[in-house]
Structure 1
């Protein structure tokens, strides 16, 4: 009987081993596309002369080894109102820079990128932003009345539509928290927005704010087109891993391929004035 049981266990082990065949799953890959990161941001109180545009190509989702920077492209931004052209210099690392850009609020600018004999173009207006009035902390402004949050305040201009993009960056955090908001229900009034840390560390412990923690806050004025684009992007980012969320859709920015319409680029050409504030929790 013992020999029978031993033989049976050996046969079962062989069966299990034989069932562990390696199955190669072919993952479909999308067409490689140009990725244009062209956010020309002008911080209040500075000249805004130094600007950088990044170019790369899209890569397969699971591929982390491809060097996808784009060099050898031509990048030009033109102020449509003044006809002044700004030629960006290729730094041979995927970035294209300039040190004499002149930002003018409410002026319209065009971006033109020449890459692989194809011309990509986008048009945007430089949007102003109100100054941040201040910030304060509270246990009552967020979703959890036992966790500290920080709120910022600014005066929304009256009798005009305004759209905002907000970045909250914690010290020693790799990824900022992003938000977008419009003045649809608060036009002409003092607006506010709060940030509450609801993250967890690698062990699943909450990482709420404590005294001494520092947060850098940036408030951007953006166009309605960028507001719609970034709102969808933020929704998809924070819905990651949610089984009940909608399937992410491919987001197209405002960069159009004039040479070959079907070979469109990813990314968005944005021009924004922004204000910044650093807050330390007490």
Structure 2
């Protein structure tokens, strides 16, 4: 009887295994497009003369192991107020560096990238950022009164429009957390922002505990970059929400003036940034 049951199990497993079909899904792939990562960030307390711009090519979603770095391009940034031209050096690994950049708050800069017969341009203004007044921790001010959160306080200048980006990151987390802020309703006041984490097995993240260190970066950004980041953040954090709208292609400010349809992905930004960290007690 036991042998009979074993035989039935073998037959059943064979039948079910033979019913598995391999389904090939055709995924539409777009033509590769230049990706420009041009974040010229002037950290407070430094000269800001060392800057890096990275160039790569876009790839299909599942081609994660391919080297997409771009060498052989010409990269320059011009200060439109002073006329100063800054030529970035090709390091032959996709990065283009400079050690004599001169950041000037309020000045407008123009990026030009020439690669493979195409020219790409972008224009941005270097924005200032306020000092951070204080950083504290609490458990009452967040979404969950049992979780530790970090609080950041800084003053917003009066009688002017200001936009901010805050980046929080704990070493070991898969991704940083970003927060975009406009002073539309808090102009001239002290701004308070907080960040807390819950346990997330999918991302390997855990709630803050005493002794944890969180890195904090406060950027002063332009209105157009604020609008760009706001869309990116909304799409990213609404992923998996059945009630969210469908994701759409978000274009940066890197245009191709002679061939508009051959624009580049990425963004050219100039910011002043406060860089600090906080250790939970």
TM-score with structure 2 length normalisation? Answer: 0.93
1:127 alignment partner in structure 2? 127
**5+ residue gaps, structure 1:** none
2:118 alignment partner in structure 1? 118
CA distance in 2, matches of 1:49, 1:61: 35
Instruction: Give a deviation string over 1:42-95, Cα, whole Å, max 9, x none.
Output: 011110000000000111111112111111011000000001000000001110
DSSP-derived class of the 1:237 partner: helix
1:71 alignment partner in structure 2? 71
2:27 alignment partner in structure 1? 27
CA contact (8 A) 2:52 2:98 kept: yes
Query: How do 1:48-127 and structure 2 match up within 5 A?
Result: 48-127=48-127
Deviation at 1:123, TM superposition (A): 0.3
CA contact (8 A) 2:155 2:188 kept: yes
2:184 alignment partner in structure 1? 184
Query: How do 1:96-245 and structure 2 match up within 5 A?
Result: 96-201=96-201, 207-245=206-244
Deviation at 1:15, TM superposition (A): 4.6
Deviation at 1:9, TM superposition (A): 7.2
1:256 alignment partner in structure 2? 255
CA distance in 2, matches of 1:91, 1:203: 33
CA contact (8 A) 2:120 2:254 kept: yes
1:10–1:46 Cα change, 3 Å: closer
CA contact (8 A) 1:49 1:99 kept: yes
CA distance in 2, matches of 1:6, 1:207: 46
Instruction: Give a deviation string over 1:80-124, Cα, whole Å, max 9, x none.
Output: 000100000000111000000000000000000001110000000
The answer to whether structure 1 residue 276 and structure 2 residue 255 are counterparts is no
DSSP-derived class of the 1:164 partner: strand
Deviation at 1:20, TM superposition (A): 1.9
**5+ residue gaps, structure 2:** none
CA distance in 2, matches of 1:6, 1:155: 75
1:10–1:278 Cα change, 3 Å: closer
Aligned length, in residue pairs:
281
DSSP-derived class of the 1:48 partner: coil
Query: How do 1:34-53 and structure 2 match up within 5 A?
Result: 34-53=34-53
CA distance in 2, matches of 1:10, 1:276: 63
